[in-house]
Every structure is written in C-alpha cells, then in structure tokens.
Amino acid sequence: MLAIPRGFPRKGYDWRDVLAELYERFMHEPKHLVNHIIGSMTTRPHPLSIEAYKLFMFFNANDPLVFKETSRLESEVIEMLGEILGGRNVSGIITTGGTEANISAIYLAREHGYENVYVPLTAHNSIRKAVHLLRVRGIDVKVDEEFHVDLDDLERKLEEHGPGVIVLTAGTTGFGTVDNVEEASKIASRHNSVIHVDAAFGGFIIPFLREKGYRLPDIGFRNRAVVSVTIDPHKLGLAPIPSGGLVVRSSEWFKPLIFESKYMPMGYQVGLGGTRTGGSIAATWAMLKHFGWEGYSRLAVELMEKTLKVAEEVGKRDSLRLVVKPETPILCIDVKGVEARLVLEKAWGMGWYPYHCGLVDGVRIVVMPHVGLDELLEFIEVLESIARSIKRGST
C-alpha cells in the first residue's frame, strides 16, 4: 500500500490511494463496539441517525430562506427537546456540542445584564472557558461531600456578590452527579438571579429516569429561574458528532444570539458560528422521532441498571471504592493506594480506555449504549489485577 507522506503535495494522489491511506489510519483507531472505550461520553451513533446526517449534511442551517426544510426540522427539534425539559414555546439552536452551547448560554446571560457567573467546582471546563472569553466575573461555589453544588455556599456568595447566572450541572463530568436545580431555583429567585443548566450528559436520561421513579431533581424549565439548558444529542441521544443543543426559555431570551448578516438572504445568522450543517439537525430529529419518550426511557433504565450492577460489584472489592453513589451512568472508582494515572497508563496499554475522574484521583467509567455489562464486570477484574501489579512493583 502506498504511504502518503506528510505535507501538501504539488501533484495530487489518485483517489484510491487517498482512501486506502485513510482506511489504514482508521484501522489504527479504537472502535466503540470492539475496543473497550469505557471512559468516553461518545458512543456509536444509531445507523438511522447516520443516514439522516448524510441526507442533510450539505445544507446550511444558517440559510433558512434557501434551506427551508432544514430550518423547519431545527424548529421541530428544539420544540421536542423543550418538551423533554418541561418547557413550552421554547427557543434554541443545534450546536456543535456542549461547549458551544455553554458559551452561548453565558453570552446570553451577559447580554441580559448578568455579569456574575456562579461556577461550582464540578462545572464543566467550558464554563470557565466562557468566563475567560466573555470577560465576565467567575465566582467559585463549593460542592458538598457528594459533589453536588453546596446550596448554603451558593446563597452566601449571592449575598456577597449580587445577582448573576448560576451554572448547575445535570450529570457532572467526573461523577455523574446531579445538582439540585429545584432548590437552587428558589435561591436564585430570592436573589434576582437566573440559572443555566448544563445537561449535556444528563439531558437525555434524567427526565426519563424521573418518570420511572428514580429520585432525581427536575432539571428543566418547570424551575422558575432556569433560562437555558444545554443538552447533547451526540451523547445519549445517539446522534453523530457534532450534535449539541441549547434550549432557552423564550425567544426574547434568545434574541442576542441573532446577528445581522447583510450578505445572507435573510439578513441575519443565528449562533456563535456561521455555516451550520443540517446533518446534525436531521440526525437529532430522526432519533427523537424514532425513539420517542418510551424508547429513551427504556434506554435510560437499561443504562442505570448496568451502572448499579457494576457499582455493586465494586463494593465487593477490597481494593476498590466508589467515590460517590452513581446518579447517572457514570462511575468514579478510587483504586485504593494507587495513583489513577498509573492505572490508566496500564489499562490503555492493555486495550482498555477508562478516563480520569478529574477533581479526585479516580478512574472514570461511562456506561454508554455500546458498553456491555459483561465487558464492565470484566474490567473490574482487570482493574483489581492492575492495582495488584502496581503495588507489587512498588514494594
């Protein structure tokens, strides 16, 4: 096979050689369905969503006068996402992912006069990125022992610094914990503040688990202070990357994300980007229509049942400890007496791909749809074996 060297060639290569090179590189990447990708929030998209993406990938969602059906699909998608989140007459946009959605949400809050951003320690790093880019004032908020926002500290900070936008997370990156949006909303209302909920991970699972009786807070628009929610179809929505979403309470709140663009047929563009593929919109529409509430409910329960079984198994192991009881399909495991970095290096070398928990020194597992229960239970054995190996090597 011809190996194509680095650099921009003067004379182009035959398309078959180019494609062969890409296939060769593809074969070196780990695959979700066969290579133990157990720490990532990505998964194999549903085949229907891939087909839907391909159908609409060439259409610019920011050119609604030309690509009318793409615009209609996005409107329908935002309406359906709003229904999942308990909202009516919502507005919003399909984005490239949670980071763009979170930055957009903080931008909206700033444009509506909220310069203070209250950031719990468990907030996704995109929030701090937004604070830096938008030159607003980030105010750290403590978390409690179970990695939820500390409501007492939140209220103290609001009393000290004044109104702002409070960022809460529904499915924290390292632990999967869910901030108490309901109680925080009451606090926010007392202090003339608003809430943005980052439900990039939890948005496609928490509302469905709540309906099935899981004791989780309402994360959406039934909470008076919530003005915006991030929700990622390319995580548990089973759409392809890049498919993120920002849903906001009203068209009035959304207005600052509409920018004049005189060269466009409509005279404006929506969102922080320019050209936006219709592929992500169509793929998300297809998944919402195909799965429906019942389909996503079944998936949510299946993932949580697997998660709780693995948590039970971890509890039987003397060398392992759950950092916090799982509330969504994420497990943070402390390998007692061993640095997580060393565990991860060995695991990756063996073809297993867990991640780091982030705030604490632990190993993160994300129970995505492609991850099987037997695979997870096997990894717990592997984890114990790695811990023993590292401890023997250090004695």
Task: Round to whole Å and give the CA distance between 303 and 206.
Answer: 12
Task: Round to whole Å and give the CA distance between 125 and 130.
Answer: 9
Q: Contact 249/226 with Cβ under 8 angstroms?
A: yes
> Does residue 135 share a domain with residue 55?
yes
Task: Round to whole Å and give the CA distance between 124 and 242.
Answer: 18
Task: Kindly compute the dihedral angle of the four CA atoms of residues 45, 46, 47, 50, in this order, to the nearest 10 degrees.
Answer: -50
> Does residue 272 share a domain with residue 303?
no
- Listed in sequence order, the residues at least 6 apart from 176 whose beta carbon sits closer than 8 Å to its beta carbon are 201, 202, 326, 327, 328, 329, 330, 331, 332, 366
In tens digits, the chain (395 residues) has pLDDT values of 458 999 999 999 999 999 999 999 999 999 998 899 999 999 999 999 999 999 999 999 999 999 999 999 999 999 999 999 999 999 999 999 999 999 999 999 999 999 999 999 999 999 999 999 999 999 999 999 999 999 999 999 999 999 999 999 999 999 999 999 999 999 999 999 999 999 999 999 999 999 999 999 999 999 999 999 999 999 999 999 999 999 999 999 999 999 999 898 888 899 999 999 999 999 999 999 999 999 999 999 999 999 999 999 999 999 999 999 999 999 999 999 999 999 999 999 999 999 999 999 999 999 999 999 999 999 999 999 999 999 887 64
Q: Contact 62/300 with Cβ under 8 angstroms?
A: no
- Listed in sequence order, the residues at least 6 apart from 229 whose beta carbon sits closer than 8 Å to its beta carbon are 85, 196, 197, 198, 199, 203, 219, 220, 221, 246, 247, 248
The answer to whether residue 31 is domain-embedded is: no
* pLDDT at residue 1, as a whole number: 47
Q: Contact 84/221 with Cβ under 8 angstroms?
A: no
Which residues sit opposite 333 in a β-bridge?
322, 363
Rounded to two decimals, the pTM is 0.96
* pLDDT at residue 393, as a whole number: 76
> Does residue 108 share a domain with residue 207?
yes
The CATH code of the domain that includes 115 is 3.40.640.10
Q: Which stretches of 29-124 are DSSP H helices?
A: 47-56, 68-84, 98-111
Domain end point (choices 234, 264, 291): 291
> Does residue 226 share a domain with residue 86?
yes
The answer to whether residue 187 is domain-embedded is: yes
Positive or negative torsion for Cα 261, 264, 270, 276: negative
> Does residue 324 share a domain with residue 218?
no
CB-CB neighbours of 51 under 10 Å: 12
State the pairing for strand pair 165-169/258-260.
unpaired
Which residues sit opposite 95 in a β-bridge?
244
The answer to whether residue 53 is domain-embedded is: yes
- Listed in sequence order, the residues at least 6 apart from 180 whose beta carbon sits closer than 8 Å to its beta carbon are 148, 149, 151, 217
The answer to whether residue 42 is domain-embedded is: no
Q: Contact 245/78 with Cβ under 8 angstroms?
A: yes
Domain count for the chain: 2
> Does residue 174 share a domain with residue 114?
yes
Domain end point (choices 226, 257, 291): 291
Q: Does residue 118 sit in helix, strand or coil? A: strand
- Listed in sequence order, the residues at least 6 apart from 11 whose beta carbon sits closer than 8 Å to its beta carbon are none
Its domain, for residue 91, covers 47-291
> Does residue 206 share a domain with residue 171?
yes
Which residues sit opposite 268 in a β-bridge?
260
The answer to whether residue 319 is domain-embedded is: yes
The answer to whether residue 56 is domain-embedded is: yes
The answer to whether residue 200 is domain-embedded is: yes
Task: Round to whole Å and give the CA distance between 193 and 110.
Answer: 12
DSSP code of residue 60: B
Q: Contact 61/278 with Cβ under 8 angstroms?
A: yes
> Does residue 171 share a domain with residue 127?
yes
What's the longest Cα–Cα distance across the chain? 71
> Does residue 79 share a domain with residue 98?
yes
> Does residue 241 share a domain with residue 382?
no
Domain end point (choices 272, 291, 310): 291
Buried b vs exposed e over 153-188: b needs ≥16 C-beta within 10 Å? bbbebbeeeebbbbbbbbbbbbbbbbbbbeebbebb
Q: Contact 254/108 with Cβ under 8 angstroms?
A: yes
> Does residue 191 share a domain with residue 312?
no
Task: Round to whole Å and give the CA distance between 41 and 64.
Answer: 31
**Residue 292 phi/psi, 5° resolution?**
65, 180
The answer to whether residue 18 is domain-embedded is: no
Q: Does residue 273 sit in helix, strand or coil? A: coil
In 3D, which of 181, 202, 229 has the Cα closest to residue 327? 202
The CATH code of the domain that includes 353 is 3.90.1150.10
- Listed in sequence order, the residues at least 6 apart from 300 whose beta carbon sits closer than 8 Å to its beta carbon are 204, 205, 208, 209, 212, 236
**Residue 331 phi/psi, 5° resolution?**
-125, 130
> Does residue 266 share a domain with residue 132?
yes
